[in-house]
Amino acid sequence: MSNQAKKDQTQELIKETAKNLFFVKGKFDATTQEIADAAGVNRTLINYYFRSRDNLIQIIFDEAQKVEHEKSEIIMNSDLPFKEKIGQFIEGSLSTSLQYPYLETYIVSQINKRKLSQKRYRRR
């Protein structure tokens, strides 16, 4: 296996482990050390590949959002009748919810954090 392939594999392992901790187990406050321990890698690799925990979360979230958007586009651009499109969309949403049960909770918590920080900023 080439060095680049090994790096890519390690980077993907870290992302998948973090996704599992955040969106499957609901550990939104998981530290880089907890992610590293779960992935079986050195914590410094997380900073090497992603620069920070927050950046890792953002990358994971952006990738998930992109995949969901692409799925929705495929359904909406299909020639299926409207009712079947809605059915496929609901099926896809349920599938994602079963795979990542805490994803929606995470999204709502992030929206609330942003709203709170905006309120604090306006008060100043």
Average pLDDT over residues 14-33: 92
**Cβ 19 vs Cβ 62: under 8 Å:** no
Mean pLDDT rounded to a whole number for the chain: 89
CA angle 37, 39, 45 (to 5 degrees): 85
> pLDDT band for position 121 (50/70/90)?
low
Encode 42-55: b = buried (16+ Cβ within 10 Å), e = exposed. eeebbeebbeebee
Q: HEC string of 5-18?
A: HHHHHHHHHHHHHH
pLDDT of residue 118: 76
As to burial, measured by CB atoms within 10 angstroms (0-12 exposed, 13-18 middle, 19+ buried), residue 68 is: middle
One-letter amino acid at 123 equals R
pLDDT of residue 61: 85
One-letter amino acid at 51 equals R
User: Is residue 124's pLDDT more than 90?
Assistant: no
Please tell me whether the overall predicted TM-score, pTM, comes out greater than 0.85 for this model.
no
User: Is residue 81's pLDDT more than 90?
Assistant: yes
Mention every residue, 6+ apart, whose C-beta is less than 8 A from residue 99: 24
pLDDT of residue 35: 97
Enumerate the H helices of the chain as residue ranges: 3-19, 32-39, 43-50, 53-76, 82-99, 103-123
> pLDDT band for position 96 (50/70/90)?
confident
